[in-house]
Amino acid sequence: MKQKHIVLSRRYVTVLQKYLKEEGRGNLKTALELGRDAVALGLETLELARIHESALIALELTGVKRGLIRRAEAFFTEAITPIVETHRAARQSRAQLNLLNETLGLRTLELAATNRRVQNGVMRRKSVEAALKKSAKHYTRLLKESLQLQEGLRQLTHQVLAAQEDERRKISQELQDQIAQTLLGINVRLVALKEDARGNTKGLKNEIASTQRLVAQSTRSVRRAAREFGNS
């Protein structure tokens, strides 16, 4: 029986679509035939209403003109007539049928509103995706520029350190040469004093000799300090 309901639902969609396309030439006899088939299958009013609602969704009639919706309601009213006629209570309460039509109309409007909300949501999602894609490209470019700046800074730092090292070696060498020359001059002067003091006391010679040793020791210390400075 369920398979027969599915077949009827598919027929309902096809027949309703054909009826709506025919506009003023549409014949409601096909709707009446569907209603009779529904009675033969033992369908109730609510079940046929559900089939009609499914057909509206399948034909995407939730956002169409009001006139087309009214034609679809007229089709449903005709299709449901055989079922209504088989129920005395239904024939006696036409208001229930009108209420059902009104409910279907409201449901159609709700479906249309839901469809618009879904479409708006899709548009917002696409907008967000586009913004994220643009943002990703922007941050990728910033990252690339940052890496380039870091490499440039590393090279510049290396150049500065190399220049500082060269300058330190140069200063060290100049300092070493200058001090050595000074001490050498002192030592030469002391030698001259030593020669001049040959006729003086022995104490003066010893003092000059001690001074020479001190100068020599100082020269060695200065050279050692200079080498250490240059190698550091």
- Per residue in 164-200, pLDDT (tens digit) is 887 777 766 766 676 667 667 767 766 766 666 666 6
User: How many C-beta neighbours within 10 Å does residue 207 have?
Assistant: 15
The set of residues, in sequence order, having a beta carbon less than 8 Å from that of 187 and lying 6+ positions away, is 212, 215, 216, 219
Is residue 10 included in any domain, yes or no?
Answer: yes
Is residue 28 included in any domain, yes or no?
Answer: yes
User: How many C-beta neighbours within 10 Å does residue 226 have?
Assistant: 19
- Domain, as residue range, for 71: 2-92
User: How many domains does the chain divide into?
Assistant: 1
Is residue 140 included in any domain, yes or no?
Answer: no
Is residue 60 included in any domain, yes or no?
Answer: yes
Which residues, given as ranges, of the chain have pLDDT below 70? 1, 23-26, 62-65, 88-95, 171-172, 174-176, 178-180, 182-183, 186, 189-190, 192-204, 225-226, 228-232
Full-model pTM: 0.38
- How many whole angstroms separate alpha carbon 187 and alpha carbon 209? 10
